[in-house]
Structure 1
Amino acid sequence: MASPALHINKPNYSSTRIVSPLKVSIDTSAAVEIIETIYFDNSAAEESNTTRLIGTLLGTCSDDGNVTIKNAYIVPHKEEDGELIFEESHHFSTFQLYKRSNPELQVVGWFSTIDKLDMYTGLLHEFYSKFSPSNPQILLTLKYRNENNEIITPILKTYISGPVGLPASSYLSHSLGLDKTGAFAFVGIENEIIQSKSESTSLKYINKAVNNENLLTSITSNSELQQLETELKNISNLIQILSEYCSKVANGEIKGDEKVGQVLLSALKFKLSDNEINDLKLKLDTHINDTLLIEYLSSCIQQQLELSSKLTNFILPEDALK
């Protein structure tokens, strides 16, 4: 018996200039800007499920089709009585301001603060696709409320689209009088939030303030050796958790995840050579020796200053003038 389900694959574009994205990467700064838009929603609680804010996504597209979202900004709009009012002038003027500071940026899509696809979604997507025909546009949705209208951890989803049915510009569509405005099929696409090592380290230490009653934390109080010790303890804890997970999977207590298995397999195949291990040990020993030397020199300088202050007290004023 044939399945009644409708299966939609990732759209393939006929134009050689358009490459369907393989993955969408979101910079942490852009993710914060998108999540921050929910605080601009001043609608009443009972209307929060039907209202939304939309905006433009700026970023870059690589030759292999991957899209990186680097900035985002809100575009004012209204949805009243089945009509959509979109302020195009604000969109273009703001884009030109971003373009002056970073010429590499281009419009890569748009975002919405609700995760539902409605009649306006196709219209908005058609607008962004019309002015960026060389690149497929990304739709990013932000879900921050559950079914009970309670605030939850924001969930970011990305979609790629393809036209459904006959093109709007085809002769047959015009002859039949078909209105093809906003006719798109949206398919989910993988995305990830990327961050630099400095951002990851800073956020990790700032997050310690959550566990304190005064919501304060000290970053500069930890020396490099203490930070290294903390990181090694975290790695040891992660290895312990991973070991327990593998044991449960091997014993049949839980079902293993294929993605976790692939990552583990690739990690186990990686092995440092003897030269790399010796080089790592040498760099670590050199770093430790440098740190100890700096601490020793600072201690000597402190002792010299204390000794100088004590000797100064024993010199009489008339002797100091000689």
Structure 2
Amino acid sequence: MASTALHIAKPNYSNTRIISPLKVSIDASALLDVIEAIYHDNSEASDSGRTRLIGTLLGTRSEDGDVNIKAAYIVPHTEKDGDLIFEESYHFSTYQLYKRSNMDLQVVGWFSTKDELDLSTGLLHEFYSKNSPNHPQILLTLRHKDENGEVISPIISTYVSGPVGLPSTSQLARSLGLDKSGAFAFVSVENEVIYSKSELTSLQFIDKASNNENQTTTLSSNDELKQLESSVKKIADMLKVLSEYSARVKNGEIKGESKIGQLLLSALKFQLSQNEINGLKVQMENHTNDTLLIEYLSSCIQQQLDLSSKLTNFVLPADALK
């Protein structure tokens, strides 16, 4: 009986310390670069000869193999009659420009706005794998349209791969005349978008602007205290939801999720160290002192202006000339 099993060969890397990435973290700035290019791409597919955007992912690798994507740039290409023309010179020159500003950056993979894996996907992945033979490359797909062509929130997927079947350099493949280019099996890996507090605040303002018809939002009325008030209010709302959920689980109305319970226990066990508490007190005192100083200076300037106005009205112009 003939076997129908699919044999996947493990990549034959010379470096024995290579570890396949367990998780891929994506900086918000790199993801926004890709998203902005996608949603502002005004070129027509018939004119540009392409059905998607592709580009290079730059980042760093940790000792345990996890990948952190820090930057991304689009590489021009054309697709015609099943052939794909990839501008390698643009890819290498742009990569060298990024290396000048940050020597730690390296090519960690590539991205595509087409979530379907086809033959050209394997060819592009083979190109990036050949240029970084000592590390498994990441494929990031970003879907931004649904089946009807309507724009949706981006859906991000990340993959690693291994060559399928015989390697292209094997004697048997050459003797049989087999074309082994682009033969890869892709496996999905976990990914996470990471962002700082300032980036989160910016995204919140962008979200507010996107919900308005004129696409604008006011920043002057959102000082630090109001932002703190908004954050405390959100925390209070989340605590209310968790409290209601816990009460329903306790009363037997719903079945509790073990994962949520573990997260709640870990959050309740969390405690700030004394150094962090002292640092927070110092920051709050400094902020309060700065606010009081600004209010005092503002009142002094206002008093000086009022006094100057009264003296100007008290002294007549004719008397001032004497």
Gaps of 5+ in 2: none
Query: How far apart, CA to CA, are the structure 1 residues paired with 2:185 and 2:105?
Result: 26
Is the 8 Å Cα contact of residues 84 and 120 (structure 2) preserved in structure 1?
yes
Q: Does 1:31 align with 2:31?
A: yes
Deviation at 1:164, TM superposition (A): 1.9
Determine the structure 1 residue equivalent to 2:257: 256
Give 1:103 shift. 2.6
Q: Counterparts of 1:232 and 1:214 in 2: how far apart (Å)?
A: 29
Whether 1:152 and 2:127 are equivalent positions in the alignment is: no
Distance in 1 of aligned mates of 2:221 and 2:100: 41
Aligned equivalent of 1:76: 76
Tell me how many residue pairs correspond in the alignment. 314
Alignment partner, residue 311 of structure 1:
311
79 and 176 in structure 1: CA distance in 2 versus 1, 3 angstrom threshold:
same
Counterpart for residue 138 of structure 2: 138
Cα separation, partners in 2 of 1:24 and 1:275, compared to 1, 3 Å = closer
Alignment CA distance shift 1:184-1:238 (3 Å):
same
- 1: CA distance, partners of 2:266 / 2:313: 68
Partner of 1:94: 94
Taking the aligned partners of 2:223 and 2:83, their CA distance within structure 1 comes to: 60
Aligned twin of 1:57: 57
What's the CA shift for 1:20? 1.2
Partner of 1:42: 44
Q: Aligned AA for 1:81?
A: D
Maintained 8 Å contact 1:249/1:256: no
Q: Distance in 2 between matches of 1:58 and 1:283?
A: 36
Equivalent position of 2:215 in the other structure = 215
Deviations 1:132-188 (A, max 9, x none): 112211101111122233221111111011122232223343344433211211111
Could you tell me the TM-score, scaled by structure 1's length?
0.83
Q: Quote the Cα distance in structure 2 between the aligned partners of 1:143 and 1:98.
A: 26
Matched-pair identity in %:
67
User: 1:270 offset after TM fit, Å?
Assistant: 0.8
Corresponding residue number in structure 2 for 1:103: 103
Letter in 1 for 2:123: L
SS in structure 2 of the partner of residue 73 of structure 1:
strand
Deviation, 1:121, is 1.1
Superposition pairs for residues 134-283 of structure 1, below 5 Å?
134-250=134-250, 251=252, 253=254, 256=257, 258=259, 260-272=260-272, 280=280, 283=283
Structure 1 range deviating more: 162-171 or 311-320: 311-320
Q: Over residues 107-134 of structure 1, what are the superposed CA-to-partner deviations in whole Å (9 max), with x where a residue is unaligned?
A: 1111111111111111110010001112
Q: In structure 2, do the counterparts of structure 1 residues 113 and 206 end up closer, same or farther at CA, with 3 Å as the change threshold?
A: closer
For residues 214 and 79 of structure 1, the distance between their equivalents in structure 2, rounded to whole angstroms, comes to 38
Name the residue aligned to 2:120.
120
Instruction: Give the TM-score of the pair, scaled to structure 2.
Output: 0.83
- Counterparts of 2:29 and 2:64 in 1: how far apart (Å)? 24
SS in 2 for 1:190: strand
